[in-house]
Amino acid sequence: MLRIQRILAPVDFSERSRGAARYAEALAEHFGAEIVALHVLPPPYPEFASMDVALPVADETHARRRAHVERLLGEFAQQHWPGAKVTRVLLEGDPAARIVQYAHEHAVDLIVMATHGHGPFRRFILGSVTAKVLHDADCPVWTGVHLEDAPVPEQVAFRRVLAAVDLGPSTSRVLQWAYGFATHYRAELAALHVTISLEGRTGEYFDPDWREHLGAEVRQQLRHWVEQTGIGAELLVDFGEVPKRVAAQAAERGADLVVIGRSSAAGVLGRVRANAYAIIRESPCPVVSV
């Protein structure tokens, strides 16, 4: 059974951060989890940020700024998580590195954070901090480009979960996490694999039934993974560009959450890891990468 006992919620006080906070609150209430509200300040001496050296005591300006941010973090926690168990943490250094380090050292079960793209094209941008956390974190990361549109916690619901897998070594882990989450919320679960389209060039012989043949083979592999993992899920096979087809399937099925892997080797039948960032950017709903 999936257990989420500690949720790390990086806070930068932006509107997207506030949207992520609503999901963190809903999840914490459902799982009975603790929320860790974490803000990372740049160090008083940025040139030494990546060096493990003793630094002089921060000057008065930095001390005042730290006190100000501590007050803001307390107000943020009080406003967004009034009834939750919240631990407030203020660190200094590189934001992504500190987030990952804290998650690793304090047995965090889930990181909930926005993508933090900026400007009119932010839908197509994954913030550098989020990208680094996705790359380095050991625990699942919950994110998405629409988190600022999150409903109030009381209205957060998960009725349909879509697990997009690449049939590589991480497939079992992705399916188990998605099944555990879906079971908690009594949600429908579908397992999706998107494979490449094979089209013949003009003048070349090409089997017109390739989709049927390849689809049957892929479905058999997907069924094997689902049965081996010991879960129940609807099986879906699609063809085309992975991020676009995952997003399309999520939209068509009204998925409330997409679950993907981000640490498996890419196989010839799919490259979910290589497409993880693009899936997050395209998805109409939050994405958990495990």
In contact, 261 and 167? CB cutoff 8 Å: no
What pLDDT is stored for residue 6 in this prediction? 98
Q: Which residue has the higher pLDDT, 14 or 171?
A: 171
In a domain, 39, yes or no: yes
Lowest mean pLDDT among 15-29, 205-219, 226-240, 251-265: 205-219
In a domain, 149, yes or no: no
Which residue among 93, 122, 144 closes a domain? 144
* Domain enclosing residue 187, as ranges: 157-289
The domain total for the chain is: 2
Radius of gyration of the chain from Cα atoms?
A: 21
Helix (H, G, I), strand (E, B) or coil at 91: strand
Residues 80 and 129 in one domain: yes
For 265-276, what is each residue's pLDDT tens digit? 443 334 445 688
Which residue among 123, 144, 165 closes a domain? 144
Residues 121 and 174 in one domain: no
Residues 108 and 162 in one domain: no
Residues 40 and 114 in one domain: yes
Residues 166 and 223 in one domain: yes
What pLDDT is stored for residue 59 in this prediction? 63
Which residue among 118, 144, 170 closes a domain? 144
In a domain, 17, yes or no: yes
Residues 117 and 183 in one domain: no
Assigned token pair, 2: 């999936």
Residues 205 and 260 in one domain: yes
What's 254's domain CATH number? 3.40.50.620
In contact, 87 and 74? CB cutoff 8 Å: no
What pLDDT is stored for residue 62 in this prediction? 78
CA distance 49 to 97: 11
For 86-115, what is each residue's pLDDT tens digit? 999 999 999 999 999 999 999 999 999 988
CA distance 262 to 285: 18
Sheet with 257-260: strands ordered across: 86-92, 34-41, 6-10, 110-112, 141-143, 287-289, 257-260, 160-164, 188-195, 234-239
